[in-house]
């Protein structure tokens, strides 16, 4: 593999010899001071000198490779790439999921979603607790007029939400936020659009007591409803024990235990990063690269595709929208009280099934949602004109000598083809309704 020249060998030999002599001299002096025997001094010289000699050899090899700046440098690069490829090949594909991009980009690790959600120590799941939580989740008796349940706004067969701009509560009241999906919510560090809940347990009873959702007047009314129901009397005792097991805390724990089973973890994306190269189309793979390159992944980090995911958490909140000049901001009324707002970053898992989009449910299609994010959050131009993809500007620096300095800003625009690729990738984060 290595292409040493004849002139390299004497240099290599002299380097090793010189290193050995210097290290022996140092070790001999140290050995005298420590009153070591001759054998001890030799061992010390070997120990000290081994690392230095190794570094010297590697340095000479590197200098040899790069000496002529041409073929040897190319050989060095090929050797480095072979080492990287060998390292990647030895990684367990199930957990690593390496996706190799163009050769001028470093390899990056994309992570698949775990098959099981983390469980808090104070709410260990059991089959009976999960079954109890499922009953509560689907029980319309837990709303003021006994017409709505948690499942009314979180329809599992429709992607875990209600596919409405905002949800309709008791008495036809309308909320002011688009209902997020409950699927995979167990992998999020913060819940609700404002992130006010830090666990499924904290989140579970919020809609039950919200005046425009299920509208029970208070926690005592919720507990009373459950206690009066024959189907719950013995089940709470079996699951939680004690003389008075029906409480807001235990109701929340049961619902949360059930919600931790509402997982969609085997999407085409997950299969692809685990090694199934046929799980994603070429368009989706291009979209995957583009998703990373233009900055989407900074906020929608895998495997949950949210900065608020429990894995790869990158800070739960972001300001939205950022670029005030975007025409989409006014078109879809994305400001709150005339201003951008800080939101918990939503997950893009199951995003193909959960239209309409954004906090107010104002955008009806995934393609349009991509355009909105590209423009309002990333500052991209939406254009099919190649000239819009770059701009040339003059740099002006005060106080410096006069002269002209120019710079080119590249990749300013997204065209229709790139948007289609991004959408194709986002669709791999969902499974068909028949699989839910």
Give the whole-angstrom CA distance, residue 196 versus residue 210: 14
Distances (CA, A) of 67 to 16, 57, 64, 147: 20, 15, 5, 80
Would you give the distance in Å from CA 356 to the centre of its chain? 22
Report the distance separating Cα 188 and Cα 251, nearest Å. 21
418 is catalytic: no
**Residue tagged active-site, from 115, 201, 202, 213:** 213
Rounded CA Rg of the chain: 31
**Three-class SS state of 161:** strand
Give the CA distances from residue 297 to residues 95, 189, 328, 413, 422, in Å, rounded to whole numbers and listed in that order.
19, 17, 21, 18, 12
Q: Count CA atoms within 13 Å of residue 172 on its CB side.
A: 0
Residues with Cβ within 8 Å of 212's Cβ and at least 6 positions away in sequence, in order, are 169, 170, 173, 174, 175
Place of tokens 């669709």: 427
DSSP state string for 219-287: HHHHHHHHHH-HHHHHHHHHHH-SS----HHHHHHHHHHHHTT------HHHHHHTT-TTSS-HHHHHH
Closest by Cα among 162, 220, 195, 125 to 355: 162
Measured CA to CA in angstroms, residue 193 lies from 71, 144, 173 at distances of 56, 24, 19
Q: Which residues participate in catalysis according to the annotation? A: 213
């Amino acid at each position: 593999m290595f292409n040493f020249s004849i002139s390299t060998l004497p240099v290599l030999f002299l380097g090793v010899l010189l290193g050995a002599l210097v290290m022996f001299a140092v070790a001999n002096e140290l050995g005298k001071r420590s009153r070591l025997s001759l054998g001890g001094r030799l061992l010390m010289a070997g120990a000290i000198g081994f690392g230095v000699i190794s570094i010297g050899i590697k340095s000479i090899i590197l200098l040899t490779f790069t000496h002529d700046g041409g073929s040897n440098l190319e050989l060095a690069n090929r050797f480095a790439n072979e080492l990287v490829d060998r390292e990647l090949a030895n990684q367990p594909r199930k957990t690593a999921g390496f996706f190799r991009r163009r050769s001028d980009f470093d390899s990056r690790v994309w992570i698949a979603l775990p098959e099981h959600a983390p469980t808090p120590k104070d709410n260990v799941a059991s089959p009976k607790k999960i079954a109890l939580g499922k009953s509560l989740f689907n029980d319309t008796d837990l709303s003021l007029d006994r017409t709505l349940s948690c499942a009314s706004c979180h329809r599992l067969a429709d992607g875990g939400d209600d596919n409405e701009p905002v949800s309709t509560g008791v008495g036809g009241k309308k909320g002011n936020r688009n209902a997020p999906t409950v699927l995979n919510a167990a992998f999020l560090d913060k819940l609700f659009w404002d992130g006010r809940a830090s666990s499924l347990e904290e989140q579970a009873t919020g809609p039950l007591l919200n005046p425009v959702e299920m509208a029970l007047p208070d926690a005592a009314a919720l507990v009373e409803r459950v206690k009066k129901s024959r189907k719950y009397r013995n089940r709470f005792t079996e699951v939680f024990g004690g003389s008075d097991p029906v409480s807001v805390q235990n109701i929340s724990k049961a619902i949360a235990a059930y919600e931790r089973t509402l997982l969609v973890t085997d999407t085409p994306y997950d299969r692809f990063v685990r090694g199934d190269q046929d799980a994603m189309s070429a368009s989706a793979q291009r979209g995957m690269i583009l998703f990373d390159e233009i900055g989407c992944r900074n906020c929608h980090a895998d495997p949950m595709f949210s900065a608020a995911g429990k894995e790869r958490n990158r800070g739960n909140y972001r300001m939205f929208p950022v670029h005030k000049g975007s025409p989409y901001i006014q078109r879809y009324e994305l400001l709150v009280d005339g201003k951008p707002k800080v939101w918990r970053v939503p997950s893009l898992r199951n995003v193909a099934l959960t239209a309409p989009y954004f906090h107010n449910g104002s955008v009806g299609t995934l393609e349009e949602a991509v355009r909105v994010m590209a423009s309002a959050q990333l500052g991209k131009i939406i254009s099919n004109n190649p000239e819009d993809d770059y701009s040339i500007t003059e740099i002006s620096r005060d106080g410096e000598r006069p002269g002209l300095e120019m710079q080119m800003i590249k990749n300013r625009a997204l065209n229709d083809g790139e948007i289609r690729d991004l959408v194709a990738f986002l669709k791999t984060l969902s499974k068909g309704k028949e699989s839910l």
